[in-house]
Amino acid sequence: MLISRKLLQTYFDKPLPKADIIAAKLTAHSFEIEGIEAKKGDTLIDVKVLPNRAHDCLSHRGVAKEVSAVLNIPLKKTPAVKLQKGSAKAHKIDVQIADKRAVRYAALVLDNISVGPSPKWLKDALETLGARSINNVVDATNYVLYMMGQPLHAFDYAKISGKKIVVRASKEGEQITTLDGKQIALDVGTLVIADKQSPLAVAGVKGGTIAEVNKDTKTIVLESANFDGATVRKAAQRYNLRTDAAKRFEQGMTPYYVDEALAMVAGIIIDIAGGKEVIPGIPVIKGAALPKQRTVSVSLAQIERIVGAHYDAAEVSRIWKRLGFSSKVKGKGEDSVWTIVVPHERLDITIKEDLAEEVCRLVGLEGLVGTLPLEPLIAPTQNLFWTLRDKAREVMLASGFSEVYTYSFNNLGEVELRNPMASDRKALRNNLSHGLRESLAENLKYKDVVRIFEFGSVFGKNDGKVSENRSFAAAIGFQKRKQAEVKNDFVQLKGVLDALARACGLKGFTYKECGGDVAAEIYVGKTLIGVLHVQGFEIDFDVLVQLVSKEEQYRYVAPSKYPKVVRDVALWVPMEIRVGAIDEIIRSVMGPLVIDLALFDVFEKPEEGKKSFAFRMTLQSNERTLSDDEANTVAEKVVAALRAADARFDVRS
């Protein structure tokens, strides 16, 4: 907002410092300054007023109060402007508020007005601020807007049908031509100022041409009102009318300004547009009663705790005075407690933290020293689901998979939608695998091999009620694949699942073979948690989390400082033998020195009806360096156990 230094000076008896000093102080304590410009013997300061202070500082008076506080220069003492008792001889206007979105509405008739050019002081003031001078009546309303921040409007009394103003919602088919010549078809429900026949203005946004004031106007109706901010904002956006009035109303304003601004503009117009010949009418004020001023209490101890700095009680009391806050204090020194009567225009002051902020910014932020919080620091409770989800994601990414997000809606599912978004999206999904297969099909148009995974919710019905579970699924797809490569993909999936189990703190998964599309069911102990397909898997992640929560928690053990020893064991087995059976035999006899067992090679000879498995055992001790004899003893024990398990096993090491 552009602030004129000359107009700012009218609020002070003491001369203000230069504009750059004012700008520097405002920057340090209140607002950012976007520029300083010399213009027509004046200096303009472009103040960036943020939304939290727009209700009181989008005006010269509001900024003057800030300047008074930050420079510690008292404001000029001026009597409050009040509406004078009007004459019964003036024309009458009736006002009806038919919509509660109009909080307060005041109207005043002025007879015998002489509309014409504005005096030089008024014209210069507006043109310096970048506004175009129109006539003395309109200019006066704009001047009060810039000085007080309260939007005003003037109607030509003679053009008001029925001599009645109604604040209401617009009706179907209504239109309005705004003062800038824009014709608008009003949506039903737009808040408007209307007469007996049609809308005269879009409330809080823009006036219309029907009751426009011009050089032939002799009687005017001055409007000063307070409208719901959200209503004004929606109308301004809907009709692309970004006006000074809308900018102020949409941020929220105090209804206290309504009466004062009306009195102020009436006084100016009477002075410059007719003088003693003007006959003011009896003010008509409708709407809710003015709200009571808020009181907020804060103690010195609370201020110091919130800000994290020490303040002197006497200094805090002086700050309330500089801000124009009326206050009462109980106690002395460190025991001081203030009860603040918040000025009606400071809508941002509602809690003790707001008052602490006022003290902090007025004293200055440059003196603040970093301190530890006075409140105890309590570590947040771990959410096991998110912890395990992160671990599972790391495993998948490290295994070459990419995360995807598929539709929650599907063509099949137990929970059907009343209003589906599409004919093929009429139900909530009951698994993730279906969506992953669709995603594979799309991505395989561009790549030979695709590896993807997804976390997401799936939906079903439990005793007639909709249930939601969190699932985890992965899939591998390919355009052309040899049979041996397909088997490698399947082995990779099992390897990923084993890595997932270890990452989540489980001893491992077990698998039960199935027929058809499902290759195996996945178990933790005796609990079924998912299924394994040839090209993917899906597990109930909620069940996995529950099982992990019941597992014995791992404790940290320092890694051994002694070297590892490796021994390999390989064997030929019949084609029907599963690797899991061999793994189980080895683990049952390998002993505590083996810290890792991994399958590193599979080779098949279908024509001979046999295949080869090769395992690698990693041995290590926390107490000593293992000898070759110790490692060989473990390997020989494993070989003996494998040979004893099945005479068909051809074991070598």
Structural tokens at position 38: 């010399």
Burial class (CB in 10 A: 0-12, 13-18, 19+), 504: buried
Supply the mean pLDDT for the chain.
91
In this prediction, residues 14-28 reach a mean pLDDT of 95
pLDDT score of 554: 58
pLDDT band for 397, please (50, 70, 90 cuts): very high
Does the structure show a pLDDT above 90 at 81? no
* Distance in angstroms (rounded) separating the CA atoms of residues 281 and 132: 29
Of the listed ranges 6-10, 137-141, 582-586, the least confidently predicted one is: 582-586
Percent of the chain with pLDDT over 70: 97
* Contact present, 577 and 629 (Cβ < 8 Å): no
pLDDT band for 506, please (50, 70, 90 cuts): confident
Closest by Cα among 334, 328, 341, 259 to 292: 341
pLDDT score of 419: 84
pLDDT band for 382, please (50, 70, 90 cuts): confident
pLDDT band for 556, please (50, 70, 90 cuts): low
Does the structure show a pLDDT above 70 at 446? yes
Does the structure show a pLDDT above 90 at 273? yes
* Distance in angstroms (rounded) separating the CA atoms of residues 150 and 180: 21
pLDDT score of 239: 95
pLDDT score of 196: 94
pLDDT score of 254: 95
pLDDT band for 481, please (50, 70, 90 cuts): low
pLDDT score of 630: 93
pLDDT band for 579, please (50, 70, 90 cuts): confident
* Distance in angstroms (rounded) separating the CA atoms of residues 468 and 458: 6
pLDDT score of 355: 96
pLDDT band for 483, please (50, 70, 90 cuts): low
Domains of the chain: 2-71 (3.30.56.10), 94-287 (3.50.40.10), 295-367 (3.30.56.10), 384-550 (3.30.930.10), 565-652 (3.30.70.380)
DSSP string of 373-402, one letter each residue: -SSPP-PPPP-HHHHHHHHHHHHHHHTT-E
pLDDT score of 374: 67
pLDDT band for 373, please (50, 70, 90 cuts): low
Closest by Cα among 218, 202, 203 to 158: 218
Query: CA dihedral in degrees (161, 164, 165, 169; nearest 10)?
Result: -80
Does the structure show a pLDDT above 70 at 577? yes
Does the structure show a pLDDT above 90 at 115? yes
Query: CA dihedral in degrees (424, 425, 430, 435; nearest 10)?
Result: 70
pLDDT band for 479, please (50, 70, 90 cuts): confident
pLDDT band for 303, please (50, 70, 90 cuts): very high
Does the structure show a pLDDT above 60 at 35? yes
pLDDT score of 555: 66
Does the structure show a pLDDT above 70 at 482? no
Of the listed ranges 196-205, 237-246, 309-318, 482-491, the least confidently predicted one is: 482-491
* Contact present, 82 and 40 (Cβ < 8 Å): no
Q: Return phi, psi of residue 71, to 5°.
A: -95, -5
* Contact present, 81 and 264 (Cβ < 8 Å): yes
pLDDT score of 557: 75
* Contact present, 77 and 33 (Cβ < 8 Å): no
Structural tokens at position 143: 């001047």
Q: Counting runs of H as helices and runs of E as strands, what totals does the chain give?
A: 18, 32
The pTM of the whole model exceeds 0.85: no
* Contact present, 569 and 651 (Cβ < 8 Å): yes
Burial class (CB in 10 A: 0-12, 13-18, 19+), 43: buried
pLDDT score of 272: 95
pLDDT score of 632: 94
Does the structure show a pLDDT above 80 at 633? yes
pLDDT score of 291: 92
* Contact present, 602 and 612 (Cβ < 8 Å): yes
